[in-house]
Structure 1
Amino acid sequence: MEFFKSAVASAISKGPPFPYTFGDQVDVDTSIWTLYAGIKREDGSSCSIFSFDVSANKPRLPMARNAVKKLRTLRHPGVIKVLDTVETESYIYIATERVFPLRWNIKRKSMSSETLKWGLFSVAQTIKFINDEASSVHGALRVGSLYTSLSGEWKVGGFEVLSSMKDDDAIIYNYGSLVPDAGRYTPPELAKSGWDAIKRNPLPAVDAYNFGTLIFEVFNGEFLGADQAGQTKNIPQTMHASYRRLVNSNPKARATVANFLEQGRRNGGFFSTPLIKLTESVDNLGMKTEEEREEFLNDLDRLSDDFPEDYFKMKILPELLKSVEFGGGGPKVFSVVMKISKKLRDDEFDTKVTPAVVRLFASPDRAIRVCLLDNLPLIIDRLSQRLVNDKIFPQMVTGFTDVAPVVREQTVKAVLTIIGKLSERTINGELLKYLAKTSNDEQPGIRTNTTICLGKIARNMGVGNRSKVLIAAFTRSLRDPFVHARNAALMALAATSDCFSEDDIANRVLPSLCPCLVDKEKLVRDQANKTMDLFLQRIRKFASSMPDTALPPASAVDPSTASAPRMSTPQPNEAASWTGWAISSFTNKVTSAAGEMQSKPNNAPASTPRSSSMPSPLESRRPDPGSITASASPLHRQAVTSPPLTTASSNANDYFEDSNAEEDVDDAWGDMEEESFFDAPSEAPKPSTKAAPSAADPFGDDGEPDFAGWLAAQAQKKPGAKPLPKGLSKPTNGRLAPATRAVSTGGVGGSGAKKVPAVAKPVVAKKIDTAPKDTGVDDGWGDGW
């Protein structure tokens, strides 16, 4: 093979220029020609090259030259198209359009009966032209002289003995018997009397007989000899009568190919098929009237899937696309385009169909848009991600807001088809924006389909806003008045349950599901129970893995704070009821106050304000080093001073701290005035801007008892009242003197106060008689208290 190519190249270099490159050899065993695949150097297009070696086939050289001459001069759509020819003393080359031997398909029986009829119809038209218009005889009509083009059309070749009957010395008379396998295909009259008998019989008789043998060969695979002529095996029933007339042994009684063609084209004839009608009318599709176009579309609908793929790709498809874009072909034509496109290779689809699809998405025709959306699943895999995201989707979004509901609905459904081709930015931005609009559409079916769509594209959303979007959309759909919209929301929630965190499920999803449990529709109630069970199982599983408590273990508590008052925390050994542990906690607070009091440093923050229903003691300054605080009893100390700030109490204050505690309490509990036992401290007290407390309201400063101010007010009411004892005089800052502290002097009637040095010494708790002692001085205590 390589040697032959080098020899051909050498011969070409010595002869006229031949601007074609030889490719692989195509096996042709019944021709004087050797067929090669070729490439035209000028544009790289494919072609075929028929090569004749003069030295090897010199007796048949006149036949080769006759074929070159007839191919160059005989022009017809059914004849192989010649591109160029070269003839030298050693070779003859004919460059033609790319063709393939028909024998390949016939041997493999790869063509349907409708395609075979279509091919025979094309050949009959060509032979009729040769016989009638060209007044010639082909003389070598058989499967071996037929080829198929890139478009699948049958082309007539084998013009080695094609002769005009006007020539007295036509080549067919002398070389007809030299055609390969001539003995099998020669008509009976020529086999008996020689090829000169052509002159004595009708001109079309030879080609009519050979066309009859061609019919048998096409439907049966091979013609072995004259004994098979007239047999109807595998030939369509409607063709039997006309076929037998073609192979009549009497040449004068034979039907011509033109007659055969006419009988086949009659209404209901064997050539009256949708495929043949389509091929006859496709060239002027844009010029047809409305009625003719409708008939054409009906023929398209009747086409089966076994149509000749190559012909539709090369011939029908371009014409159909033109009709859809510019000729008003409409959705019906586009459906056939999609049917043909399924059998295109990816490169062919990108070249022929993709540009038209992109242009059609910009068309304002709603029927075309709906047809495009319906057929999108057939072509989406052929479209690149960039093309869909940058060109098709921006045109497609106009359907979300179209006034026609069918366009909006089909657009929503098409999202599932293109979602894999969209970028994350497009999905989380523009797509969700439009789906938010269709979720509020006036059509309940569109709202329902939007919910279903969101459920199916949930995994394509961004992780950051997926849960937020889905919960907002589905919980809103749960309140939709359309029963199927609510049911779709429940199913979508169940299908996307793994997209939600446990906190979202407990706080947002489950509360929204509860109303559906008592929905008026049983369909919704049943689905709500299923969805609720699904989420509850997940919550229970999550809760089982949580710790029993978030409080730190007992061993981690500071020993110095072990005796701090508990903040209403139930103890295991206490009563199980809520009243039991609440009262126990309160009593523990009282008893745990026993011991020495700890004064607060000067720079320490003010104590937390307490409820006015619990009088607070006076707040003393820090004593000097070496001094101590003396008290009559622990209970009295607890009554007149706040408990020391401990770690536990600080934590408790932080836990209950609320900047709006006062307003919240007022709203929740009403006008309870000073009955605010459950008030929690909110913040440190600020300098009071209120007026001095009066006798009617002896507790100023937000409920802290102001004993000094109250006593001073009482004393001033009486004329000639004596000044208060030095220890009870009210300092300017509202605190006692730093070096002294007012303590009880002991005794049952002790009502005075004295300075006690701040010396640390143990104090024995004594029982205090709270009855005031009559000292002879009317200081107003009795009246006021």
Structure 2
Amino acid sequence: MLPSSVCAITQSESYCNFAELSLMDFLKSAVASAISKGPPFPYTFGDRVDVDQSIWTLYNGTKREDGSNCSIFSFDITANKSRLPLARNALKKLRTLRHPGVIKVLDTVETETYIYIATERVIPLKWHIKRKSMSPETLKWGLFSVAQTIKFINDDAASIHGTLRVASLYTSESGEWRVGGFEVLSNVKDDEAIIYNYGSLVPDAARYTPPELAKSGWDSIKRGPISAVDSYNFGTLIFEVFNGDFSGGDQAGQTKNIPPSMHSSYRRLVNSNPKSRVSVGHFLDQGRRSGGFFDTPLIKLTESVDNLGMKSEEEREEFLNDLDNLSDDFPEDYFRMKVLPELLKSVEFGGGGPKVLSVVMKISVKLTDEDFEARVTPVIVRLFASPDRAIRVALLDNLPLMIDRLSQKVVNDRIFPNMVTGFVDVAPVVREQTVKAVLTIITKLSDRTINGELLKYLAKTANDEQPGIRTNTTICLGKISKNLGVGTRSKVLIAAFTRSIRDPFVHARNAGLMALAVTCDTFSEEDCANRILPALCLCLLDKEKLIRDQANKAIDVYLQRVRKYAAEMPDSVLPPPSSIDNSTNAPRMSTPQPSASEGASWAGWAISSFTNKVSAAAGEIQPTSTPDPRASSAPQTPRPAPTTASASSLHRQVVSPPAASARTSTSSASADYFAPIDTPGEDDGDAWGDMDGDSFFDAPTETPKVSTTLKSAANPFEDNGEPDFAGWLAAQAQKKPGAKPLPKGLGKPANGAARPAPGRVSTTGSIGTSVKKAAAPVVKKPVVSKKIDTAPKADDGDDGWGDGW
């Protein structure tokens, strides 16, 4: 057994060894982590992109600093050491060669194990070619861009690309074609250029090698023109983009699917004799001639879009005409990334005008919701605040194209407050387009905005001086009726539509009738019967047949609804007969009993109703011993003579409804259509001549106090029970001292004219000239008058909104 001191030393040594091993493991893991991460590279690798016929592995990436998109070309040195010179040459040339048609390099890094090249986000062109997703015009545009880049490499850089094919081309986020594949790009002045020794190491080089190189080797490039190799490869590229693939030299010169305008120049590119081949630069010049294969609207647009704001009015007009000539298969990405920003700047700052805005809307249809919100929405909001009327009309015309992309908050809080200025603009076209635009934005507005500010402005346009604007306002209200608040819907629509059907413009009346017909379900049955149907009846005798026909259709709709509702109502609201006193079962005086013939009794009902109203106004009828109603013609007790009543006041009692409750709905319903009249004085005889007017149905504003007794003739019901009302008036006028003459039509015939026979009407044509035979005096009996409140009921439901209509 070891001493305790020895054990302590052993434990201490073991602890030190364990700590040393732990430190070594930590350092190893840190070194391994550092090796795996490599040198500082501020980009994050994303998904791998499949690339054929390339020494590079392509990844989608993002920049850590701002999260922007990029692409990362990766080369594994350990796995492809034999092709390392090709990778290093591509890295060098991409760093030094700068041209818009070349892939833009962001950053590079090289270690002993790998090479990374971070570039703008690109997509292999082969993807589009295989899917045939590009139109012939877009393919021409891409070839035009590549030809410009190759011309720069051959002429300005004095270099040879050497591997021009679909696999070495890419498309950027804007849809533009980018040239890559710089593995053997070489300057011809360099005797040790890589293309001479490593050209055959490029993947699938044999398929695209020109015939003279296939026979004599890559060193024979020195004996030919500098552009010969790239000219041949550009010719094979033309065949490949239009046909999808190029299998070998046997297809060089074939014109399948190639546009006919290119055939001649294309054949000269792939000539078997390198000295007879046309250069890419010369091919480009031939295509750009007037009427050439590169003289297309798309190519013209791409050449001039960068300086659109600097163009003159004529040049801008030509540019926009080229845009209009483009079909819907234009390269969407290019228009989104390049053309659209320039157009937006031109509209907002460069005076592009409505035509440019229309093109912007055409392009924006292709955008995603995120792109539209980021690029277009801010400009649209600012343009609505512009005082330019042409821009405002163009915005309103294009609202249907953009409304689904605009959020409710943007429309309600930012666009609508600027849009409402159009309702009161001095230009009629702006007012009219603003009214029409309401239908487009109504779903994006809050209930408070709709029932408040919007209705306030529509009330103004409903009374606009332009009949077309009034008509469109009526149509607009009819279509947005479901969006209005329940509390204001009925009041607003009835006020607007009933006013519209009285509009002097025929189409405004027609719009009002049609709007009422389609919004029938919006109103209550009481409003249908009391307010709408009376207004519709005015149109039944309209001077225009169009209005008469439409009025009949609208009335049929409302009658059908009212009848359906009435059929569900109870037969009576009176208490059951058993609860009524038996004494009330006796027939009333002067009230005929139902007759078997309805056509023969309708006049009797009218006379009896009139008599009952007079009796109710004068007092109760005393029962007689004879149950027969016709016995009322017997002599009666004399009554005191009238003291304060006049013909005018009596007439108002006679024609006024028996009670205010029965008149309330009628007076309130007619208040919107007929103007109230003043109450005539007691001795104002002219009031009788106003009975044939619409104001006849309005109640007087005050109730005359009547305290009178009626004096009847000896036989007031001599003519088959009919009252001698005219005779009674004549007798009262003669007995009253200093009485004024009776109103016209109620006095006795002049010049001793003979009275008409009983029951017959005088030929003078005046109402009430039928005079009864002289009757014996009857006993007069005092009758207590009944005070009637004829003041119209106030419409508590109108809070003043309808005054605007």
TM-score range, shorter chain: 0.7 to 0.9
Equivalence for 2:435: 412
Query: What TM-score, normalized to structure 1?
Result: 0.74
Q: Is 1:523 aligned to residue 557 of structure 2?
A: no
Mark the CA change 1:153 to 1:68 in structure 2 (over 3 Å): closer, same or farther.
Answer: same
Q: Once structures 1 and 2 are overlaid, which stretch shifts more, 310-319 or 543-552? A: 543-552
Question: Aligned to 2:287, which of 242, 254, 264?
Answer: 264
Equivalence for 1:439: 462
Equivalence for 1:207: 230
Q: Deviations over 1:213-243 (max 9, x none)?
A: 0000000000000000011110111111111
Deviation at 1:468, TM superposition (A): 1.1
Mark the CA change 1:593 to 1:119 in structure 2 (over 3 Å): closer, same or farther.
Answer: farther
Q: Kindly provide the amino acid, as one letter, of the partner of residue 82 in structure 1.
A: V
Q: Once structures 1 and 2 are overlaid, which stretch shifts more, 206-215 or 514-523? A: 514-523
Q: Is 1:364 aligned to residue 387 of structure 2?
A: yes
Equivalence for 2:168: 145
Question: Aligned to 1:17, which of 24, 27, 40?
Answer: 40
Q: Secondary structure at the match of 1:353?
A: helix
Q: Once structures 1 and 2 are overlaid, which stretch shifts more, 13-22 or 325-334? A: 13-22
Q: Is 1:397 aligned to residue 423 of structure 2?
A: no
Q: Deviations over 1:719-757 (max 9, x none)?
A: xxxxxxxxxxxxxxxxxxxxxxxxxxxxxxxxxxxxxxx
Equivalence for 1:375: 398
Q: CA RMSD in A?
A: 3.3
Deviation at 1:590, TM superposition (A): 3.5
1:593-632 aligned within 5 A:
none
Q: Is 1:51 aligned to residue 71 of structure 2?
A: no
Mark the CA change 1:11 to 1:568 in structure 2 (over 3 Å): closer, same or farther.
Answer: farther
Deviation at 1:555, TM superposition (A): 3.0
Deviation at 1:440, TM superposition (A): 1.5
Q: Residues 138 and 163 of structure 1 are in contact (CA less than 8 Å); yes or no, is this contact kept in structure 2?
A: yes
Q: Residues 348 and 383 of structure 2 are in contact (CA less than 8 Å); yes or no, is this contact kept in structure 1?
A: yes
Equivalence for 1:103: 126
Q: Kindly provide the amino acid, as one letter, of the partner of residue 199 in structure 2.
A: G
Equivalence for 1:773: none
Q: Kindly provide the amino acid, as one letter, of the partner of residue 300 in structure 1.
A: L
Equivalence for 2:523: 500
Instruction: Supply the distance in 1 between the matched residues of 2:267 and 2:498 (Cα, whole angstroms).
Output: 77
Q: Is 1:119 aligned to residue 153 of structure 2?
A: no
1:136-215 aligned within 5 A:
136-215=159-238
Q: Deviations over 1:371-398 (max 9, x none)?
A: 1111100010000111101110111111
Instruction: Supply the distance in 2 between the matched residues of 1:154 and 1:139 (Cα, whole angstroms).
Output: 18
Q: Is 1:347 aligned to residue 381 of structure 2?
A: no
Equivalence for 1:781: none
Instruction: Supply the distance in 2 between the matched residues of 1:313 and 1:489 (Cα, whole angstroms).
Output: 45
Instruction: Supply the distance in 2 between the matched residues of 1:10 and 1:221 (Cα, whole angstroms).
Output: 45
Instruction: Supply the distance in 2 between the matched residues of 1:552 and 1:15 (Cα, whole angstroms).
Output: 101
Query: Number of residues paired by the alignment?
Result: 619
Instruction: Supply the distance in 2 between the matched residues of 1:172 and 1:456 (Cα, whole angstroms).
Output: 74
Query: What TM-score, normalized to structure 2?
Result: 0.72
Q: Kindly provide the amino acid, as one letter, of the partner of residue 477 in structure 1.
A: S
Q: Residues 592 and 608 of structure 2 are in contact (CA less than 8 Å); yes or no, is this contact kept in structure 1?
A: no
Q: Secondary structure at the match of 1:515?
A: helix
Instruction: Supply the distance in 1 between the matched residues of 2:286 and 2:292 (Cα, whole angstroms).
Output: 7
Q: Secondary structure at the match of 1:24?
A: strand
Instruction: Supply the distance in 1 between the matched residues of 2:67 and 2:612 (Cα, whole angstroms).
Output: 100
Q: Residues 474 and 497 of structure 2 are in contact (CA less than 8 Å); yes or no, is this contact kept in structure 1?
A: yes
Q: Is 1:385 aligned to residue 376 of structure 2?
A: no
Instruction: Supply the distance in 2 between the matched residues of 1:494 and 1:573 (Cα, whole angstroms).
Output: 39
Instruction: Supply the distance in 1 between the matched residues of 2:706 and 2:40 (Cα, whole angstroms).
Output: 115
Q: Is 1:674 aligned to residue 708 of structure 2?
A: yes
Q: Residues 640 and 711 of structure 2 are in contact (CA less than 8 Å); yes or no, is this contact kept in structure 1?
A: no
Q: Deviations over 1:140-182 (max 9, x none)?
A: 0000000011111100000000001111100000110111110
Instruction: Supply the distance in 2 between the matched residues of 1:236 and 1:271 (Cα, whole angstroms).
Output: 11
Q: Residues 568 and 582 of structure 1 are in contact (CA less than 8 Å); yes or no, is this contact kept in structure 2?
A: no
Q: Deviations over 1:7-27 (max 9, x none)?
A: x99576463211111111000
Q: Residues 613 and 675 of structure 1 are in contact (CA less than 8 Å); yes or no, is this contact kept in structure 2?
A: no
Instruction: Supply the distance in 1 between the matched residues of 2:361 and 2:387 (Cα, whole angstroms).
Output: 20
Instruction: Supply the distance in 2 between the matched residues of 1:339 and 1:128 (Cα, whole angstroms).
Output: 35
Q: Residues 478 and 519 of structure 2 are in contact (CA less than 8 Å); yes or no, is this contact kept in structure 1?
A: yes
Instruction: Supply the distance in 2 between the matched residues of 1:440 and 1:9 (Cα, whole angstroms).
Output: 83
Q: Residues 590 and 611 of structure 2 are in contact (CA less than 8 Å); yes or no, is this contact kept in structure 1?
A: no
Equivalence for 1:62: 85
1:532-571 aligned within 5 A:
532-557=555-580
Deviation at 1:554, TM superposition (A): 2.4
Mark the CA change 1:34 to 1:664 in structure 2 (over 3 Å): closer, same or farther.
Answer: same
Question: Aligned to 2:501, which of 454, 457, 478?
Answer: 478
Instruction: Supply the distance in 1 between the matched residues of 2:32 and 2:370 (Cα, whole angstroms).
Output: 32
Question: Aligned to 1:463, which of 480, 486, 494?
Answer: 486
Q: Deviations over 1:689-743 (max 9, x none)?
A: xxxxxxx99xxxxxxxxxxxxxxxxxxxxxxxxxxxxxxxxxxxxxxxxxxxxxx
Equivalence for 1:248: 271
Deviation at 1:485, TM superposition (A): 1.0
Equivalence for 1:302: 325
Instruction: Supply the distance in 2 between the matched residues of 1:570 and 1:665 (Cα, whole angstroms).
Output: 33
Mark the CA change 1:195 to 1:614 in structure 2 (over 3 Å): closer, same or farther.
Answer: farther
Q: Secondary structure at the match of 1:152?
A: coil
Deviation at 1:537, TM superposition (A): 1.2
Gaps (5+ residues) in structure 2?
Answer: 1-28, 627-636, 642-657, 665-678, 689-703, 713-734, 737-779, 781-805
Mark the CA change 1:374 to 1:520 in structure 2 (over 3 Å): closer, same or farther.
Answer: same
Q: Once structures 1 and 2 are overlaid, which stretch shifts more, 544-553 or 171-180? A: 544-553
Equivalence for 1:702: none
Equivalence for 1:755: none
Q: Residues 571 and 581 of structure 1 are in contact (CA less than 8 Å); yes or no, is this contact kept in structure 2?
A: no
Instruction: Supply the distance in 1 between the matched residues of 2:595 and 2:474 (Cα, whole angstroms).
Output: 53
Q: Residues 399 and 411 of structure 1 are in contact (CA less than 8 Å); yes or no, is this contact kept in structure 2?
A: yes
Q: Kindly provide the amino acid, as one letter, of the partner of residue 489 in structure 1.
A: G
Deviation at 1:676, TM superposition (A): 5.9
Mark the CA change 1:22 to 1:484 in structure 2 (over 3 Å): closer, same or farther.
Answer: same
Q: Is 1:274 aligned to residue 300 of structure 2?
A: no
Mark the CA change 1:569 to 1:284 in structure 2 (over 3 Å): closer, same or farther.
Answer: farther
Q: Is 1:315 aligned to residue 338 of structure 2?
A: yes
Q: Deviations over 1:31-57 (max 9, x none)?
A: 000001111111111111101011110
Instruction: Supply the distance in 2 between the matched residues of 1:379 and 1:356 (Cα, whole angstroms).
Output: 12
Q: Percent identity?
A: 74
Deviation at 1:319, TM superposition (A): 0.6
Gaps (5+ residues) in structure 1?
Answer: 1-5, 595-611, 617-651, 679-695, 698-769, 771-785
Deviation at 1:285, TM superposition (A): 0.7
Deviation at 1:572, TM superposition (A): 6.3
Deviation at 1:547, TM superposition (A): 2.0
Q: Kindly provide the amino acid, as one letter, of the partner of residue 465 in structure 2.
A: E
Question: Aligned to 2:348, which of 325, 328, 340?
Answer: 325
Instruction: Supply the distance in 2 between the matched residues of 1:310 and 1:518 (Cα, whole angstroms).
Output: 63
Q: Residues 213 and 223 of structure 1 are in contact (CA less than 8 Å); yes or no, is this contact kept in structure 2?
A: yes
Instruction: Supply the distance in 1 between the matched residues of 2:94 and 2:161 (Cα, whole angstroms).
Output: 12
Q: Is 1:36 aligned to residue 70 of structure 2?
A: no
Q: Residues 590 and 608 of structure 2 are in contact (CA less than 8 Å); yes or no, is this contact kept in structure 1?
A: no
Q: Secondary structure at the match of 1:160?
A: coil
Q: Kindly provide the amino acid, as one letter, of the partner of residue 230 in structure 2.
A: D
Q: Once structures 1 and 2 are overlaid, which stretch shifts more, 538-547 or 108-117? A: 538-547
Instruction: Supply the distance in 1 between the matched residues of 2:525 and 2:76 (Cα, whole angstroms).
Output: 85
Q: Which has more radius of gyration?
A: 1
Q: Kindly provide the amino acid, as one letter, of the partner of residue 440 in structure 1.
A: N
Instruction: Supply the distance in 1 between the matched residues of 2:274 and 2:290 (Cα, whole angstroms).
Output: 28
Q: Is 1:74 aligned to residue 97 of structure 2?
A: yes
